[in-house]
Structure 1
């Protein structure tokens, strides 16, 4: 099976860790740039990214459950991030919305990859 889903999820995890690091640094240097919602979002996204790495490893072994979880996350996550980044009354500062938009693009790429024939065949063939 292609390693693209794993690579995309590794990138997603690096971005998530970067969000936590930026949140920590800004909470010290510019506390007005960080609120509790940012901490909750950053922590939740990092936890999801770590679980996703595990599911990517399972997907590499042909797990249909991991495939479904990752497909669900990539589609629903992309839509959620789009709402977060585009809604004018978002509780997130602009820097978080920009970072999340980048992560949303990674999730879109993941969805496209997961829906490719190569990945679907590999999962179907592993039954």
Structure 2
């Protein structure tokens, strides 16, 4: 099994941790710049990234369930981040939306990787 999904999720997790760290640092300097919605989303994304990292490790061992969960997260996450970045009345500041766009690109790369027939052929058969 290829290690590309695992590496992409490691990158996604690192970006998620950096996002939460940036929120904390910015809050220390300028508290109004980091509203409650930003904190909740940043913490939620980090939590999801840890789950997804676990699923990517399971996928590396050929688990079909992990494949389905990662595919769902990569597609829904890409669409959700695109909506977040493009909404004109978004409650998120520009710096946050730019970072989220980078994470959306990682999820898009993950979806592209997961949809390769060669990767799907390596999964355990459905019971």
Same fold flag (TM > 0.5): yes
Distance apart, 1:102 and its partner CA:
0.3
Contact map agreement 1:16 1:42 (CA 8 A) in 2: yes
**Are 2:115 and 1:115 aligned?**
yes
Structure 2 gap segments, 5+ residues each: none
Alignment partner, residue 31 of structure 2: 31
Q: For 1:58-73, what aligned pairs fall within 5 Å after superposition?
A: 58-73=58-73
- Taking only aligned residues, the RMSD between alpha carbons, in angstroms, comes to 0.6
Alignment partner, residue 11 of structure 1: 11
> Using the alignment, how far apart are the partners of 1:100 and 1:27 within structure 2?
18
Q: Which runs of 4+ in 1 moved over 3 A?
A: none
**Are 2:102 and 1:102 aligned?**
yes
Structure 1 gap segments, 5+ residues each: none
Contact map agreement 1:2 1:118 (CA 8 A) in 2: no
Deviations 1:70-110 (A, max 9, x none): 00000000000000000000000000000000000000000
